Amino acid sequence: MSRIGKKPVPIPSGVTVTLEDGSVTVKGPKGQLEAALVDLVNVSVEGDEVVVKPVNDSKPARSAWGMTRTIIANMIQGVTEGFTKKLEIVGVGYRAALQGRDIKLNLGYSHDVIYKVPEGIEVQIPKPTEIVISGIDKQKVGQVAAEIREWRKPEPYKGKGIRYADEYIFRKEGKKK
């Protein structure tokens, strides 16, 4: 039994949830999100809550139950508050700058890396060594952060690279004479 799926998702004021033929649409002050629903769960709006229930007691239905509830909860949080990921750049000469909607990264390569920011994502660079990614879609925000981090993952010896702000890098000692 899903513990998270049992909890109904509260709908805050100013947010509307619409269910229509296999999809859920959430509108709020920051925008609108839409997601497709699987046939293994029943989703209903009861008062100011969204209730998700499995169709039957099969393993796939129980698996989709909690995930569907979490997706809907993330959509509601996204259109009300939004999501933010912070990246830190560590390394001598490593820095980032905005060029219009693109991010220009100097990461120790022979060339600059230009990352094109997708639609629906806001990027701010308060310091040359800090990137703040925000948007209403949690999956998109996480995907953009992961793609930027992929250019230079943090290494364990000096800690150089692009890391999440809350990430701990396990440090190694290195060679001994």
Q: What is the DSSP string of 44-72?
A: EEETTEEEEEESSS-HHHHHHHHHHHHHH
66 with 105, same domain: the answer is: no
CA distance 114 to 55: 47
Handedness of CA 57, 59, 60, 64 (dihedral sign): positive
Q: What is the average per-residue pLDDT within 19-43?
A: 92
**CA-based nearest residue to 17, from 8, 25, 7, 9:** 25
* Whether 138 contacts 85, CB under 8 Å: no
pLDDT at position 177 is 80
Residue 175 domain flag: no
Q: In terms of residue numbers, what domain contains 32?
A: 3-80
pLDDT of residue 3: 85
| Contacts (Cβ under 8 Å, ≥6 apart) of 172 | 156, 157
Q: Do 98 and 134 sit in the same domain of this protein?
A: yes
Residues 8 and 64 in one domain: yes
* pLDDT(6) > 70: yes
pLDDT score for 1: 62
Q: Give me the number of domains the chain comprises.
A: 2
Q: What is the pLDDT of residues 105-114, one digit of tens each?
A: 999 999 999 9
In a domain, 14, yes or no: yes
Query: What's 102's domain CATH number?
Result: 3.90.930.12
Q: Given 34, 65, 80, which residue is the final one in a domain?
A: 80
Q: In terms of DSSP bridges, do strands 41-46 and 31-36 run parallel, antiparallel, or are they unpaired? A: unpaired
Instruction: Reply yes or no on whether the pLDDT at 2 is more than 80.
Output: no
Find the distance separating the first CA and the last CA of the chain, reported in whole Å. 56
Q: How many CA atoms within 13 Å lie on the side-chain side of 126?
A: 6
Any domain includes 177? no
